[in-house]
Amino acid sequence: MEISLLFVISILIFFVAALYSSVGHGGASGYLAVLSFFTIVPAVMSSTALILNVLVAGIGVVVFFRAKHLSSNLAWPFILLSIPAAFLGGLIHIADKTYFLLLAFALLVAAIRLAFSFTSNENHNGFRSPSMFVALPIGGGIGFLSGIVGVGGGIFLSPIMILRRWADPKKTSAVSALFIVVNSLSGIVGRVARGGFEFSAAVPFIVAAFLGGLVGSHFGANRFSGMTLRRILSAVLLVAAFKLVVTAMR
């Protein structure tokens, strides 16, 4: 890969990591959107996104934990089934066309998640934790889809948690970050088990994601995020989703 292209992709990855980590996400859907604009095969796209996802979401877990937003009691019911489900999803090899369509769906969800703050209930009381019988299947279903596509699942989990009033935005971001880490690791193991893990170990990508994760997590845990920037990223994801659908339909 040319140095100029590496630099451009790295800059984009930095901004994706910073924006996503500000809401407790690892950024896999954003990395996949960035990589989809270039000639990169799906196996490398998903593997690279998962590695960067673990790195950035892991930073988020530490930062949100130190800020005392992480609740293990809230997180574990979602995680319990998501880990084996993400592993099974990672074992599944799907045709490129199907992969592009599933990824387009994931990007669409991510775009909606980023375009709207989902914070209208932030200052209200009445939050309640979900029952285990509700959290387990939600976590398992999201984990399975995440393992197939190559994302951590936070883009699916966090809107549900906010809209169902299961936690405030800060706690939701913290739980999402932990959820993303364990699902991404499980998805990686599944891909390795079937011989489908193809990570292009580009050091600039890792450095860019790490720095972006530090910046975004700090502001996400301690300050409010800029909705204008998130909506710009949302527009980029919508364009990428449209491009993937067009590619799949050829």
Report the alpha-carbon distance of residue 96 to residue 73 in Å, rounded: 38
Q: What are phi and psi of 67, to 5 degrees?
A: -85, 5
pLDDT band for 220, please (50, 70, 90 cuts). low
Tell me the pLDDT tens digit for each residue of 83-111. Answer: 999 999 999 888 888 888 888 888 788 78
Tell me the pLDDT tens digit for each residue of 51-75. Answer: 999 999 998 899 889 888 888 899 9
Mean pLDDT rounded to a whole number for the chain: 83
Q: Which of 223, 120, 114 is nearest to 158 (CA)?
A: 114
Q: Are 16 and 208 in contact (CB under 8 A)?
A: no
Helix (H, G, I), strand (E, B) or coil at 151: coil
Query: Which residue matches tokens 């990591």?
Result: 17
Q: Decide if pLDDT at 81 tops 60.
A: yes
Q: Which of 7, 55, 9 is nearest to 31 (CA)?
A: 9
Q: Given this model, what pLDDT does residue 39 score?
A: 74
Distances (CA, A) of 131 to 78, 82, 125: 10, 16, 19
Q: Given this model, what pLDDT does residue 120 score?
A: 46
Query: Which residue matches tokens 């994302």?
Result: 151
Tell me the pLDDT tens digit for each residue of 176-186. Answer: 899 999 999 99
Q: Which of 59, 66, 71, 72 is nearest to 24 (CA)?
A: 59
Question: Which sequence spans correspond to the domains of the chain?
Answer: 3-249
Report the alpha-carbon distance of residue 20 to residue 121 in Å, rounded: 21
Q: What is the mean pLDDT of residues 156-173?
A: 83
Q: Are 229 and 19 in contact (CB under 8 A)?
A: yes
* pTM: predicted TM-score of the whole model, two decimal places: 0.81
